[in-house]
Amino acid sequence: MKYPETKPPVFTLTAGPVDAYPEVLRALGTTVLYDYDPAFQAFFEELTLKAQEALGCDLPPLILQGEPVLALEGAAASLIAKDDVVLNLASGVYGKGFGYWAARYAKKVEEIEVPYNTAIDPEDVRAFLKAHPEVRIVCVCNHDTPSGTLNDIDAIGAVVAEAGALLLVDAVSSWAGMPTSPTSSQAAIYVTGPNKCLGCPPSLSLVAVSEAAWAKIEANPDAPFASMLSFTDWKNAWKKTEPFPFTPSVAELNGLNAALDRYLEEGPEAVWKRHAVTAKVCREGIKAMGIELWPVSEEIASPTATAVKMPDGIDAGPVLAEARARYGISMSAGRAETLGKLIRIGHMGPTAQPAYALLAVAAMGGALKALGARVDVTAGLAAAQAAWDAAIDA
């Protein structure tokens, strides 16, 4: 009995998109309202304030009408002026990639790059900024998803604040899955999205923009306006009395509303714990099978995805295909530099459940074994179960 490629898998345990929460899926089907209907405009205002509560930011966040790459590109275009020197921190494919966007707009982009299975050392940032007082903006990815690794954005944020620069954070796949916020990281711009740990489908972005960032954007003559990439266009759109720059994604906003309700009702701490326990169960299982994690240390491994290093001589592609065909479980490939070298098991939103970690261990182990790798699947399952029990009894 195998699962054909032509049919959806049974479980999607990827690093996003993951399946949305059932209440989000139902909310997507809510009657579509005219965006200028007073009931909709009031809804959009309430929704923005609810997102502000969830994000814990000082100003109402932007809800942008595209998945977070829109917000990231827009952030670069808006914040970075042509006389700015930018320091880009690259510990993975996404962090590295942001540098290319920064380079489009900046006078100069400096970069600290570290191997993609490690994290940025905040002390290196401190030293760099000391040596380069001309740096005005520092860019960092909190969870570099293609590596499954975390940068300590709170520590980096403190260093950046001390240096009087502005921090631009990509927290797309960490926010709502672990303790991280615009405030704790002192971010000028903090980009995230509802399509990862919040359990929505992809198509919207959430962006916390600080007072300082707005001042910088407003002073930037090249900041996009009347554009899909614009932040400014949307600054006041959250108010029920203000127009929309263009038609918002009504159905997705209904989904976001349900997701925020769920998040706030379950309680952020409980949600984060669920992600952390799931990651722990997954990793204990993986390691016990004799497989290595991709990050050099578990301290920098994100609780929202487990990146598993492929054993020597084994490409990730066939392992993914085998896991899907044998066990009906879809997992994520790497990207660019990490493609082929690792597989990512997502722990995000509805899939942040230890039970799924156990299944992921079974599928990963079984697929590797079927392809001839030396793995002890039983040891993996036992360790995963033990880690789960330990978390339950903690």
Residues in binding site for substrate: 344
Q: Which of 177, 201, 295, 303 binds a copy of itself (CB under 8 A)?
A: 201
Verify binding: residue 82, a copy of itself, rule CB under 8 A: no
Verify binding: residue 146, a copy of itself, rule CB under 8 A: no
Verify binding: residue 210, a copy of itself, rule CB under 8 A: no
Residue with token string 């972005």: 205
Q: Which of 279, 289, 307, 377 binds a copy of itself (CB under 8 A)?
A: 377
Verify binding: residue 179, a copy of itself, rule CB under 8 A: no
Closest to 171 (Cα-Cα) out of 205, 212, 129: 205
Closest to a copy of itself by CB, 182 vs 194, is 194
- Extract the tokens encoding 219: 């002073």
- Shortest CB 98 distance to a copy of itself, Å: 11
| The one segment of 14-22, 48-56, 85-93, 111-119 that binds a copy of itself by CB under 8 A | 14-22
Verify binding: residue 42, a copy of itself, rule CB under 8 A: yes
- Shortest CB 45 distance to a copy of itself, Å: 12
Rg (CA), the chain: 21
Verify binding: residue 229, a copy of itself, rule CB under 8 A: yes
Instruction: Classify each residue of 205-226 as buried b or exposed e, where b means 16 or more C-beta atoms within 10 Å of its C-beta.
Output: bbbbbbeebbebbeebeebbee
Distances (CA, A) of 125 to 89, 120, 299, 379: 8, 8, 19, 41
Closest to a copy of itself by CB, 87 vs 343, is 343
- Extract the tokens encoding 279: 């990651």
Verify binding: residue 358, a copy of itself, rule CB under 8 A: yes
Q: Which of 203, 220, 302, 306 binds a copy of itself (CB under 8 A)?
A: 203
Closest to a copy of itself by CB, 112 vs 323, is 323
Q: Which of 82, 83, 100, 264 binds a copy of itself (CB under 8 A)?
A: 100
| Binding to a copy of itself, residues 331-350 (CB under 8 A) | 332-333
**Bind-site residues:** 344
What does the per-residue mask of binding to a copy of itself show for 263-302, with x meaning CB under 8 A?
A: ----------xx--x-------------------------
| The one segment of 6-14, 82-90, 111-119, 153-161 that binds a copy of itself by CB under 8 A | 6-14
- Shortest CB 4 distance to a copy of itself, Å: 9
Count of residues interacting with a copy of itself (CB under 8 A): 90
Q: Which of 38, 164, 179, 267 binds a copy of itself (CB under 8 A)?
A: 38
